[in-house]
Structure 1
Amino acid sequence: MNTSYAQRGATLIFVLILLVVMLIGGIALVRSVDTGLIIAGNLAFKRTTTHAADFGIEQARTWLQGVTPATLENDNPGLGYYATRQIVVTDFAGVRPDTQADDIDWDGDRPSAPAKVLSIGQDSAGNQISYVIHRMCDANGPPGTTSNPCESFTPTSSATSTTRGPAYGSGALKGQRAYLYRITVRAIGPRNTRSIIQSVIIL
């Protein structure tokens, strides 16, 4: 009888240990699933804000194409446009706590920041979108002069002409010089997810 009771007690202890192990395994599985769902959700929010920032790029490009060349020769901070490359503006995320001298004033609370943005409001998903445009030139004024060098691009064609000025030959045809503009966009989602992207376009 004593041996039988001892065996039953050992079985109970074994079963309890097994239950504890299964409980720990179940908790670990739940936490793993929760972590996976959180990561998937974060990636989805990030993708949404990135798409919103892409929309900001298109809005800025549309504005650039809709104004006259003379409009682009001078700064217009109220519209988030600068006719120079603003070399001092290096902290595009605006996250450095030690100085505001090289920040973009994304939220309108950094009066000493050299670059202001244009907020274009919220999209249908609730993402707040802002952008700033820099013309890649050294100074205000007409671009491409000796006193105002600019990043530019002159397209060439594989086609040739039999007459090239006063001479005859096979010189390649050249297009009109175009200038580079850097667009920086920030999008903030409803859950404070942030995406900052840049694009350089040629106009």
Structure 2
Amino acid sequence: MRGCAMLVVASKSSQRGLVLFVALIALVVMSLASVALIRSVDTSSQITGNLAFKQSTAITSSYGLEAMADTIGGQLKSYAFTNDPSNGYYAVCTTFDSGATGQCNGENLTLSTTWSDANSKLATGAGIANGKDPYGNTIRYVVERMCNQNGDVSKERCMMAASPDPDSSKRGCGFCIFKPPVAEPLPIYRVTVRIVGPRNTVSYVQAFVS
């Protein structure tokens, strides 16, 4: 009888040990599942935040373009023939298009490594305070004349906007006594807007104007 009692006690102790082991495994599984759920929610939040930032960037970029137009837009044709970093203006495009030969094409654009507050201009205008829009994005821009040299604008050193074909006007009016005026080719300018979000996210938007 004593031997049977000892066997029953040993069996109960083994069962309690097994139950404890199973409970620990279940606790570990639940902990891992909780961590995975938290990471999934965090990833979803980041994706949602990135999409929201991209949407606000599209809106914010217009502030930079409008600020450029208000500041020097009316002077693009006759603006300085030399660099003016304090106003975010560059008469040659090789400052950011490093290694460019001939007329700049953007293949060597290195804005991410060469951009600084000293060589760009804070956006100003309606809805912008200290370079920030209502969404908290900081807006800066640079304007580059698509020329590979300082000085006067010429087809040899600058990218030019195509001028209208004068013969097209003559064909439209049949026989014209007076020759229609030919528009002077204008240089092309590359406007780059850099937007830094509240979470230090960075986005670039570019436009070409003439």
TM-score (ref. length: structure 2): 0.65
**1:71–1:23 CA distance, 2 compared to 1 (3 A):** closer
Query: Which of 193, 197, 203 pairs up with 1:189?
Result: 197
Which stretch shows the higher mean deviation, 41-50 or 156-165? 156-165
Q: 2:148 — aligned with what?
A: 138
Q: 1:52 — aligned with what?
A: 60
Work out the CA distance in 1 between the residues paired with 2:72 and 2:157.
20
The one-character-per-residue Cα deviations of 1:84-138 (angstroms, maximum 9, x if unpaired) are: 22366432112xxxxxxxx34x223xxxxxxx21122221222221111111123
Structure with a larger share of its residues in helix: 2
Work out the CA distance in 1 between the residues paired with 2:176 and 2:154.
24
What letter matches 2:152 in structure 1? P
| 1:22-171 map, 5 Å | 22-49=30-57, 51-67=59-75, 69-86=77-94, 89-90=97-98, 91-94=110-113, 103-104=114-115, 106-108=116-118, 116-120=119-123, 121-144=131-154, 148-156=156-164, 160-161=171-172, 162-163=174-175
What letter matches 2:79 in structure 1? T
Please say if residues 136 and 181 of structure 1, whose CA atoms lie closer than 8 Å, have aligned partners that are also in contact: yes
Q: 1:18 — aligned with what?
A: 26
Shift of 1:156: 4.2
Work out the CA distance in 2 between the residues paired with 1:27 and 1:68.
56
- Flag structure 1 segments of 5+ consecutive residues without an equivalent: 95-102, 109-115, 167-172
- Flag structure 2 segments of 5+ consecutive residues without an equivalent: 99-109, 124-130
**1:18–1:89 CA distance, 2 compared to 1 (3 A):** same
**1:175–1:70 CA distance, 2 compared to 1 (3 A):** closer
**1:165–1:84 CA distance, 2 compared to 1 (3 A):** farther
Give identity over the alignment, percent. Answer: 33
Please say if residues 52 and 123 of structure 1, whose CA atoms lie closer than 8 Å, have aligned partners that are also in contact: yes
Q: Output the aligned Cα RMSD.
A: 3.6
Q: 1:169 — aligned with what?
A: none
The one-character-per-residue Cα deviations of 1:132-171 (angstroms, maximum 9, x if unpaired) are: 11111233343225xx5321122547663434899xxxxx
Residue correspondences, number: 179
Larger radius of gyration: 2
Give 3-state SS (helix, strand or coil) of 1:190's partner: coil
What letter matches 1:119 in structure 2? L
